[in-house]
Amino acid sequence: MNIDKNNLNIEHVNNMLLEISNIENLEALRVEILGKNGILTNMLKELGSASMEVRQTKGKELNELKHAIAQKFTQKKEEIESIPQPDTHDYSFPFNKSIISENVSKNINLGKRHPIPTTITRLHEIFKASGFQSVNGPDIEDTYYNFEALNIPQEHPARDNNDTFYMHEENKLLRTHTTAVQIRLLEQMKDEPKDIRSYSIGNVYRNDAHDATHACSFHQIEGIIIEDGVTMQHLKGFLEHLFAEFFEKKCHIRFRPSYFPFTEPSCEADIFVKNIEGKLEVTTQDEGKPMELGGCGIIHPSILERFNMNGKQAFAFGFGLERIIMIKHGIANLHDLYNNNIPMLNYITQS
């Protein structure tokens, strides 16, 4: 496009932009005017030999014009990109029946479900068979549900930017645990407290460094039982039942004293595994290597009182979905579940 530098102004540029309808032509015009050897760029270079007075006055005018033109190009680009483009790709596949025999077609590998949704489906079956109802909550959570309502104070390390992903919107974050769903459930029951068994499965997010057992996003399973007379003994018994169903063999669960602001007493739950002929196997006794499943405990009385459940007994537990998949299938690196490691995924789905 031939452009007279003596007539270069914002109105002229606007008229040229009206005739452009695609990114390629827009970029070509931008380079012609603002590029390294563009018209406006060269006009600024020519000022180098002009007098100080001319450089000051003319230089200011040209820089203002350059800024205004650059804004017009940005606006035009956004306008073009906002227009839905027709899909011109040809998705058809020329198919010749003669190249595929009947025997070959029978052996086509249609693939299998990924182990994560397969595990989620199995857990749904186990929980529902035990009388639990499924509940869900938002991934973008309020700090109240994620922290304050769970007795996690402002100065707690978990609330630091180094551990939590905060949103630009005030008091919004990517939830760090599915325990926030428990609070939303208790809030709904505040006017009519009742016994309940519920669970939640979903994504959680933490600002963790990536290694073989950690990722910034993973799945967590949270469960809660509110029933008269429940104790730590009931909690342990239920977890042994849950994991016996999942691992398809009797499991031994060990409780280690721990601390969580929202349970009292609090424990970490461990399961024991052994390396048998090169494969990890869950053991039925307190032998082998202990592996942490997650945290659990009796829900703190202050939380129950806050939701008009004075005198009620309740326990809760939470553990990582990927962790139990790793234990069940003997996976050493968590990221093999996400990195499209086909041999590993084939091994898991066939085991």
Q: What is the CATH number of the domain that holds 282?
A: 3.30.930.10
Q: Tell me if 274 is assigned to some domain.
A: yes
pLDDT, tens only, 322-351: 989 988 888 878 888 888 777 777 777 776
Q: Tell me if 89 is assigned to some domain.
A: no
pLDDT, tens only, 156-185: 776 776 678 889 988 899 999 999 999 999
Q: Shortest CA distance to 62 belongs to which of 40, 31, 32?
A: 40
Region 115-142: mean pLDDT is 93
Amino acid at 321: L
Whether 132 and 270 share a structural domain: yes
Whether 49 and 141 share a structural domain: no
Question: What phi-psi label fits residue 131: left (phi over 0), alpha (psi between -120 and 50 degrees) or beta?
Answer: left
User: Which stretches within 137-178 are classed as H helix?
Assistant: 143-146
Q: Shortest CA distance to 66 belongs to which of 43, 91, 37?
A: 43
Region 268-283: mean pLDDT is 80
Nearest-angstrom CA–CA distance, 38 and 73: 14
DSSP E strands in the chain: the ranges are: 133-134, 140-142, 172-174, 196-205, 217-226, 253-260, 263-276, 279-282, 289-299, 314-320
CA angle 224, 321, 188 (to 5 degrees): 30
Q: Tell me if 105 is assigned to some domain.
A: no
Whether 304 and 220 share a structural domain: yes
Whether 180 and 71 share a structural domain: no
Q: Domain limits at 25?
A: 5-81
Token match 């109802």: residue?
133
pLDDT, tens only, 36-74: 888 888 888 888 788 888 888 888 888 888 889 989 999
The pTM score is: 0.65
Whether 163 and 239 share a structural domain: yes
Whether 77 and 121 share a structural domain: no
Whether 229 and 333 share a structural domain: yes
Count structural domains, the chain. Answer: 2
